[in-house]
Structure 1
């Protein structure tokens, strides 16, 4: 299942965090991968949620290598939920190729729930999404 949260309004990271905590309460293992989002506001919640694993981009790492690393971890089948917070922003900045992200998302196992976010999303991603939430200012 692929869910996409996008738009120019704030709240996408908060929605991802809520989805992660909800899944963790159901004892599902969650991998949260941040492509620029700041989870500091939620650090205390994550400390009491042992089913959530968080990855953040190291300062000296490349975005492409980071994405590949996260994808390999997600494919170990230890996780039920994968959150790629800000991944579409990395595509927009051309740090990740559209085809690389599309290939991963379209070939991911059906057993893995994937949530992706970004301000803008290319049409090809919207076509393969099972659920789309657009957050608009105003």
Structure 2
């Protein structure tokens, strides 16, 4: 079976939710799933649920740097080193341990912010193991990523409670 690359992008809520839904579907079909999250913490409801599924591995978020716009230049440099290492570890694990599905959540953000090299992601996608399905999430994928993808789904915000000053709610947005 040919493997594909999926992109869930846009300014709307639901990119990660769509990726997690696909991960659960794959797990329920006997597939092994590796999920790595960038620019997020482990304090999100889906992490607890996913860690209870035996065929899904969620890479722990061992460091948090906060919002990119609030990072100092030193923090941005530290974050770049950390996320580049996290990406390399993830790509090596996905290739060597025979996963069926790899989810790189918010990979577009770390690429767009210059915290990881998009070139490395593109190289991996081009040479990924046969049968490894890959999901990329985030806003504003580059033209090169879009060209490489088999699926591109854009989730567009029409209305969101945050616009009215309602903060993220546990169990709904995180």
Query: How high is the TM-score relative to the length of structure 2?
Result: 0.74
Count of residue correspondences: 138
- From 55, 59, 66, give the equivalent of 1:55: 59
Query: How high is the TM-score relative to the length of structure 1?
Result: 0.92
Contact 1:57 1:66 in 2 (8 A): no
In the other structure, the counterpart of 1:41 is 45
In the other structure, the counterpart of 1:64 is 84
CA distance in 2, matches of 1:56, 1:48: 14
Go from structure 1 to structure 2 and tell me whether the alpha carbon gap of 1:11 and 1:80 turns closer, same or farther (over 3 Å shift).
same
Go from structure 1 to structure 2 and tell me whether the alpha carbon gap of 1:47 and 1:96 turns closer, same or farther (over 3 Å shift).
closer
CA RMSD after TM alignment: 1.6
| Gapped regions of structure 1 (runs ≥ 5) | none
Moved more, 5-14 or 100-109: 100-109
| Gapped regions of structure 2 (runs ≥ 5) | 64-77, 159-174
Deviation at 1:56, TM superposition (A): 3.2
Go from structure 1 to structure 2 and tell me whether the alpha carbon gap of 1:3 and 1:107 turns closer, same or farther (over 3 Å shift).
same
Matched residue SS, 1:56: coil
More strand by share: 1
Superposed counterparts of 1:1-138, under 5 Å: 1-38=4-41, 40-59=44-63, 62-138=82-158
Higher Rg: 2
In the other structure, the counterpart of 2:74 is none
